[in-house]
Structure 1
């Protein structure tokens, strides 16, 4: 029992250490997300613009409604903005901002509830992130909580990076695709999934769109990695290590990627 407890404590400690890196990255990127919400803002630093008159406010409201209607129509028809309008970017950033803000509030409340600290006082997101970071040492004593904190910090940080236009690299996986026999398996750490990037790959699963949609790639979710490991000749533990390795480096704002487990190769 002591050995199991020591192992759980070690795992929790590692999870908390990784969560701290994601928190630091999110803390540095979140202000950029707020700035991205209102692109093109000009004016002298520290000097607020004069309030718009009624006519200007009405024009701005009408333009915002038109932008939202256009963005909704594009989304419903599978189209993306060509860059001429600001609505797609602003709506995308606004959604990410709201998701991260709600997520940070809920995460801090969950941590404090589990630690018996009561509800936290109101604060902005950067302040809450600093408070969460200050509680990580205590979180390490609770394995289930530590796992949850890591998952949420990683999710919110990657959501923020994606909203800022920072694409995450796919990571090469050793082994051959069970369907096309190409060395084209790649891990997508952001979604904890593995996919085959061979454009010609087609599976025989009835519910997979790779047979009918040229842009779709066959994907293995984390729950399917055991079977994938057997079919592709890959060690399942290597898949987990590969995904976990795509963590922000200590002291930097980047996410590592393009590392290979067990060698490299081109599609056969």
Structure 2
């Protein structure tokens, strides 16, 4: 077996859960050391709220047993998207499309061929129970090289892209696909929410005046910002950190607004034409898991 093929098998093993470790949900996984940020590194890590180009970020907990690190390559304000490029510590699999970089004294490859676009709005909340941490910043010399490789002005740092390296790329793509699909489903759910809120206003509140921009129900309150067109759900302090599900019952349908570990604030994009105080007051519900 060639050294690179042996390395690929080691990579495969790194993605697999040991047989004696049972399946657990995300909340339990966060308590397992292998899925959390080591305590000694916590002071160096900053939870990401507003991404900046060049940020190197880690998704915690990873969906598998291998770390998941990204480069924030580009932020397109006009299109409202953030482009993330997966990075890997398995730099030996670099192809002529990849760029070898160093972050915090460790070698990684940036993989432009696996880049993913995520909505900029509420970016830090796009990953469900998982959180993004800023673990470093890519040096300008590396960032410029990535840009040149993307533009086709320069080759990457690997010499070939077939064989074992092609298999590595296939496995890498499989890792990131579920995260991307989760974001697409979330976008569909937001569009559905917008549709039902608009329909509600047209049918029930056609003659209503200006909507009250804040409200309060048991365990949850909200504030609506018509300028930013953002609905902020505020969770009662005693419920923060617990698992819960926030739903809106409207026109005979139950829409899930959020499900997972409850944060102090959960932001949801809602247009001025769709926001309805009455719909929230009547149908907003919070169920907390024990």
TM-score of the superposed pair, with normalisation by structure 2: 0.23
Larger relative contact order (Cα-Cα within 8 Å, sequence gap ≥ 6): 1
Q: Which structure carries more strand by proportion? A: 2
Q: Which structure carries more helix by proportion? A: 1
